[in-house]
Amino acid sequence: MRDTSTAFRVKKALGYAMMLAFLGFSLLPVVWVLLLSLRPATALFEPIWESPTAWTLDNIRSIARSDFPAALLNSFITAGSSTLLALLVGVPGAFALSKRRASNKFFASWLLLLLRMAPPVGFVIPLFLVYVRAGLIDTYAGLIFAYTSLTLPFVVWSMWTSFNQIPDELVEAGLMDGASLGRVLWRIVIPAARPGLVAAGVLSFLLAWNDFFFSLIITRSDTTTAPVAVMNFVSYASVDWGAIAVASIALTLPIVPIIVLANKYIVQSLGGAVKG
């Protein structure tokens, strides 16, 4: 009995040690970027013990005086708006695909998967030509529609899976009580699928928030997003690593509380849970 208890403690200690080692390895780039953001250019890549007093806030001031805060606001506007639009369109579409009896569901599922997995470079040129004719280059509307095309297939696919977990009898009971299909969706189905809805919204926001390619092609100066604005700190002759480090932290900080608050719902969604 004692040997078994000792072996269990050893395995538990090894498990904790491996977990801490993995956590430290994962946090190492974050700590490194944080240190870079507070170091002057002259001591940027020197060991800290060689210049322990070389700390500065000049990199933060440089970012604050640049166009990066405006680009960060543009990222919030476009990512948030495209996520809301994708949810408004995708949730009813996923509900229809999940609960309606149709013979083309298999085709629809593969079409959604194809749209989600297709590389953006495959359709960004036609989209750019359409935007030039429609006058949507360097506009919020153009970037929001582009991001919606990126996130909508994901929303429909993920919410379709969540709605499949809800018994059809629950929908039929609501209809038998006299509720309309829209009321059943809003009052019964969406609250029951809340973990999937939150997970789809958060992950869609992250897809748009981290996008670089669409923003690089569609925007110019008025609606440049933060990932593209980081490139302003790279020139032909030099790279402002301190400013890039601060910009990276500024890009990461807003999404940390979103992930923390939505973590429970994301885990429940991945586990196929439905709110009872």
What is d(CA 243, CA 42) in angstroms, rounded to the nearest whole number?
A: 14
Question: By C-alpha distance, which of 201, 229, 186, 213 is closest to 80?
Answer: 201
The reported pLDDT for the residue numbered 72 is 95
- Residue 177, Cβ neighbours under 10 Å: how many? 10
- Residue 191, Cβ neighbours under 10 Å: how many? 11
Asked if residue 61 lies in contact with residue 219, where contact means CB atoms within 8 angstroms, the answer is no
What is d(CA 76, CA 127) in angstroms, rounded to the nearest whole number?
A: 22
For the packed helices 124-134 and 140-164, what is the interaxial angle rounded to 10 degrees?
130
DSSP 185: I
The reported pLDDT for the residue numbered 98 is 83
The reported pLDDT for the residue numbered 108 is 72
Return the structure tokens found at 121.
């470079």
DSSP 233: G
Return the structure tokens found at 86.
């994708």
- What is the dihedral angle through the alpha carbons of 166, 172, 174, 179, rounded to the nearest 10 degrees? 130
Residue 137: phi, psi to the nearest 5? -70, 135
What is d(CA 152, CA 200) in angstroms, rounded to the nearest whole number?
A: 10
**Beta carbons within 8 Å of 121's beta carbon, 6+ residues apart:** 213
Asked if residue 79 lies in contact with residue 147, where contact means CB atoms within 8 angstroms, the answer is yes
What is d(CA 102, CA 97) in angstroms, rounded to the nearest whole number?
A: 8
pLDDT (tens, 9 = 90+) of the chain, 276 residues, equals: 445 577 778 888 888 899 999 988 888 888 889 988 998 888 887 888 788 788 889 999 989 999 999 999 999 999 999 999 999 999 998 888 887 776 666 677 777 777 777 787 878 888 899 999 999 999 999 999 999 988 998 898 889 888 888 888 888 888 888 888 888 888 888 888 888 899 999 999 999 999 999 999 999 888 999 999 999 898 888 888 999 999 999 999 988 888 888 887 777 766 655 555
SS3 string, 137-164, reads CCCHHHHHHHHHHHHHHHHHHHHHHHHH
Asked if residue 112 lies in contact with residue 152, where contact means CB atoms within 8 angstroms, the answer is no
